[in-house]
Amino acid sequence: MTRSRVLEAFTAALLDDDADALYDRAPCGYLTMAPDGTVVKTNHTLRTMLGADELTGRTWQELLSPAGRVLHETLLMPTLRLSGAVTEVAVDLECRGGTRLPVLLNATAERDPQGRVRLVRVAVFDATERRRYEQDLVRSAEEARAAQQAAEDAERRLSALVDTLQGSLVPRSLPTVPGLSLAGAYRPAGDGSEVGGDFYDVFATDCDEWWVVLGDVSGKGVDAAVLTALVRNGARALATSLTEPEREPALILRRLDELVERHETERFCTVSLLRLRRTATGSWAVTMASGGHPPLLLRTGPGPAKGVQAQNPPVGMGLYSGPDSAGEPVQGRFDLHAGDLAMLYTDGMSEVRVPGGLLGDEGLSVALDAIASESSSADEVAGRLLDHVLALQDGTPRDDIACLVLIAD
Amino acid sequence: MLVHGFGCDQGMWHHVVPDLVRDFHVVTLDLAGAGESDPAMWDAERYERLEGYAEDLVALLRELGLREPVLVGHSVSAMIVAHVQVMAPELVGSLVMVGPSPRYVDDGEYVGGFSAEQIEELLASLSANYVAWSHAMAPVIAGNPGRPEVHGELAEAFCRMDPGVAEVFARTTFLSDARDVLPRVTAPTLVLQCAEDVIAPQVVGEYVARELPDAELVLLKAAGHCPQLSDPDETVSVLREHLLTAGPR
């Protein structure tokens, strides 16, 4: 723009936009009021905003929404009287016809020589869009909070469900068996938020006959838990209902294999079954069979416990019958005399990383010996062994852990 | 003892204290969460109830050991001092309630002046403003005003309140119901009712005076909800006259 055209534009603006026009047509509303709120003067812009022909003589409070009136009394006027100015107060004005206009206010107070507020000047800015945006923000924040709350609730429910399911996999407390001290240890993998596949059970089929079942279903979660329940309850039902000579661990393994095969699942299960019968001398005659499960550790005196194998295929793979059958399932037998210790466990207890490889059944056997020689009860052995295995994994097990310790009295 | 209401702090009494101290021993204070109160003492759960604030005042009165003090409660603090008197009558001489309202929300026959919706709208509006102001105040609090138009005013810090604190205090103020406390107040009470008070209308002031066993209602000429600011002279003269004729006892 040339110098002369700048001058021309300046002159035109000066003439057209004098102080009166600037006040009346300013791009914000102006209002002057007495300290009690009586409206003294307004500009055209404000009257247009409010759809009012005349505001003089009315009170400022009448123009405010009820919430705005409270804000005026508790914040706006006190601040004006004490500090002379307020900025960016968000209120709603009530327009003709009852609609609301969200606005932002700046206000200053004019004082008399004694320091009393003489009049208040208010600049009013339409804040409709801004307020909508703020409300959207508030709503979004509330929705986010609600979503988070819902997620937390769902997690709590899930965790309760997992607890319930988990509780069905191992007895809440072990039965008291005369002549035998029993202790169990159980810990799901990780933070315990998923149902594990390990389980155990101890039950009587006669006053001198007890069964111990401990196993590990492949995989995790609700599916695995269903199969776990099937095997646990199946073993119980079979051991209770079968009669001699069918009532033997090896034969029950074969029945369990059929049961799991009929249940259409890719999953399988390793399991150890013990049948304990009290003899006339007070010792226990034990028959056992393992379906693909780690050996039983038997400690009959000082020194590492020895593994008792009576190894058959895992159940649920159809390997007990048909063309792939390995033949008649095998079972072992041993006696438990006073002080003898037998332990069943899942691989979560033995397949634990240690310097130079895995702890393994042998490593666990050595640890069991050290702990058993210093312990006075089955509870103590099970507890300390669990601690030992957890300590090797910084307290967070990679896999489910289950073990049962039996000591003959 | 002058106790400020919602929204501000003891600065609320700036214009009346200089006159009152000529005749009286005056105590002003910041309620928890307000003004210069120690942020560490704030406890959102404790101050959800007016009793939380009242317990603080009882502790303060015990500490100060004042002889028959007159508790002047403005706005919501009118109900706080009522709680104080009921909790520890032995520590209180008499009460003055400035613009009292035991319940802001209408309830059946009872007229508080606001519908429940209006109060919810108010609470939303208050919290929006406090959040905005806390941002505006941040540079001031950091000691770097950069706002020459208000620079140098001590009162710049006036009414500043953490938005979370303000939200709790606002809910406590506008949603509490202290109607059942009034008949249990045993101290003589002066009720000061402003003209055209949109927060505590005259009908509410009359209700308060009626429910209190020993009350005197005085209608002020001062308009609005804060007579100590809008007309400090009238406020001082009514207080002085009442205090000089009524006490010390």
pLDDT for the residue numbered B143:
37
- According to DSSP, the residues that pair with A199 across neighbouring strands are A215
Asked whether the beta carbons of A399 and A176 are under 8 A apart, the reply is no
- Return the SS3 of A111: strand
Asked whether the beta carbons of B54 and B80 are under 8 A apart, the reply is yes
pLDDT for the residue numbered B151:
35
CA distance A343 to A352: 17
Give A291-337 pLDDT, tens digit per residue.
999 999 999 988 788 899 899 999 988 888 877 777 889 999 999 99
Asked whether the beta carbons of B172 and A47 are under 8 A apart, the reply is no
Mean pLDDT for the stretch of residues A191-212: 88
- According to DSSP, the residues that pair with A203 across neighbouring strands are A211
Whose structure tokens read 């919706």? B117
Asked whether the beta carbons of A91 and B125 are under 8 A apart, the reply is yes
A48 CB-contact burial (10 Å; exposed 0-12 / middle 13-18 / buried 19+): exposed
Q: Give the distance from residue A148's alpha carbon to the nearest chain B alpha carbon, in angstroms.
A: 20
**For testing the chain A interface, which of B225, B228, B231 should be mutated: the one with the most A CBs within 10 Å?**
B225
- Return the SS3 of A88: strand
B19 CB-contact burial (10 Å; exposed 0-12 / middle 13-18 / buried 19+): middle
Asked whether the beta carbons of A390 and A333 are under 8 A apart, the reply is no
pLDDT for the residue numbered B166:
84
CA distance B25 to B66: 10
Six token digits for residue A353: 């990383």
CA distance A407 to A378: 6
Instruction: Give, to the nearest 10 degrees, the angle between helix B50-64 and helix B76-87.
Output: 60
Q: Give the distance from residue A54's alpha carbon to the nearest chain B alpha carbon, in angstroms.
A: 22
pLDDT beneath 70, residues of chain B: 131-160, 246-249
Contacts of B22 (CB under 8 A, 6+ apart): none
CA distance B109 to B118: 18
Q: Dihedrals φ, ψ of A3, to 5°? A: -60, -40
Which of B133, B156, B199 has the CB atom closest to A70's CB atom? B199
Which of A74, A85, A91 has the CB atom closest to B7's CB atom? A74
Q: Give the distance from residue B63's alpha carbon to the nearest chain A alpha carbon, in angstroms.
A: 30
pLDDT for the residue numbered B247:
53
Six token digits for residue A281: 């001398």
Angle at A187 (CA atoms; ends A186, A193), nearest 5 degrees: 140
Mean pLDDT for the stretch of residues A8-15: 80
**For testing the chain A interface, which of B19, B105, B198 should be mutated: the one with the most A CBs within 10 Å?**
B198
- Return the SS3 of A276: strand
Residue B85, domain CATH? 3.40.50.1820
Give A234-276 pLDDT, tens digit per residue.
999 999 999 888 899 999 999 999 998 888 778 899 999 999 9
What is the layout of strands, in order, in the sheet containing A180-187?
Answer: A180-187, A401-408, A341-345, A296-299, A306-308
pLDDT for the residue numbered A338:
92
- According to DSSP, the residues that pair with A296 across neighbouring strands are A308
Q: Where are the domains of chain A?
A: 3-126, 171-408
Mean pLDDT for the stretch of residues A157-185: 86
Q: Does the beta-carbon distance from A134 to B136 stay under 8 Å?
A: no
Q: Does the beta-carbon distance from A88 to B12 stay under 8 Å?
A: no
DSSP string computed for A190-227: TTS-S--SEEEEEEEEETTEEEEEEEEESS-HHHHHHH
pLDDT for the residue numbered A1:
60
Please count the residue pairs, one from chain A and one from chain B, whose beta carbons lie less than 8 angstroms apart: 96
- In order of A168, A256, A314, the CA distances from A222 in angstroms are 12, 20, 21
pTM confidence score: 0.59
Chain A residues touching B8 at Cβ < 8 A: 74-75, 78
Q: Dihedrals φ, ψ of B171, to 5°? A: -65, -45
- In order of A3, A13, A15, A19, A190, the CA distances from A7 in angstroms are 6, 10, 12, 19, 80
Chain B residues touching A65 at Cβ < 8 A: 121
Q: Does the beta-carbon distance from A90 to B125 stay under 8 Å?
A: yes
Domain count, chain B: 1
pLDDT for the residue numbered B139:
40
Chain B residues touching A73 at Cβ < 8 A: 197-199, 224-226
In B12-124 the beta strands, taken as DSSP E runs, fall at: 28-29, 70-74, 94-98
Angle at B7 (CA atoms; ends B77, B117), nearest 5 degrees: 90
Which of A67, A74, A89 has the CB atom closest to B6's CB atom? A74
Q: Dihedrals φ, ψ of A207, to 5°? A: -70, -25
pLDDT for the residue numbered B134:
52
Q: Comparing C-alpha atoms, which of A217, A366, A390 is closest to residue A299?
A: A366
Whose structure tokens read 């009690």? A36
Q: Does the beta-carbon distance from A82 to B14 stay under 8 Å?
A: yes
CA distance A272 to A235: 11
- In order of A308, A343, A376, B1, the CA distances from A305 in angstroms are 9, 9, 17, 82
- Return the SS3 of B229: helix
Q: Does the beta-carbon distance from B121 to A91 stay under 8 Å?
A: no
Q: Which of B37, B225, B231, B242 is catalytic?
A: B225
- Return the SS3 of B194: strand
**pLDDT > 60? residue A80:** yes
B225 labelled catalytic: yes
Instruction: Give, to the nearest 10 degrees, the angle between helix B50-64 and helix B163-175.
Output: 100
pLDDT for the residue numbered A16:
76
Q: Does the beta-carbon distance from B230 to A77 stay under 8 Å?
A: yes
Q: Comparing C-alpha atoms, which of B210, B175, B173, B176 is closest to residue B191?
A: B210
End-to-end CA distance of chain B: 16
Rg (CA), chain A: 42
Range name among A5-14, A46-55, B124-133 with the lowest pLDDT average: B124-133
CA distance B218 to B206: 10
% of chain A exceeding 70 in pLDDT: 100
CA distance B214 to B191: 10
Q: Does the beta-carbon distance from B125 to A68 stay under 8 Å?
A: yes
Q: Give the distance from residue A74's alpha carbon to the nearest chain B alpha carbon, in angstroms.
A: 6
Q: Which domain holds residue B231?
A: 2-246
DSSP string computed for A307-345: EE--EEPPBTSS-SSSTT--SSPP-EEEEE-TT-EEEEE
CA distance A64 to A91: 7
CA distance A230 to A265: 12
Mean pLDDT for the stretch of residues A93-113: 91
A221-233 in b/e form (b: 16+ CB < 10 A) is: eeebbebbebbbe
The CATH number of A3-126 is which of 3.10.129.10, 3.30.450.20, 3.40.50.620, 3.40.630.30?
3.30.450.20
**Domain covering A171-408: architecture:** 4-Layer Sandwich (3.60)
Asked whether the beta carbons of B178 and B79 are under 8 A apart, the reply is yes
Mean pLDDT for the stretch of residues A367-388: 92
B197 labelled catalytic: yes
pLDDT for the residue numbered B131:
62
Q: Dihedrals φ, ψ of A282, to 5°? A: 100, -10
pLDDT for the residue numbered B179:
96
Is A28 or A396 the better-scoring residue by pLDDT?
A: A28
Q: How far is CA A52 from the centre of its chain?
A: 58
- In order of B128, B129, B240, the CA distances from B134 in angstroms are 10, 8, 37
Q: Give the distance from residue A88's alpha carbon to the nearest chain B alpha carbon, in angstroms.
A: 8
Which of B129, B155, B223 has the CB atom closest to A36's CB atom? B223
Tally of CA atoms within 13 A in the half-sphere of A195 that contains its CB: 24
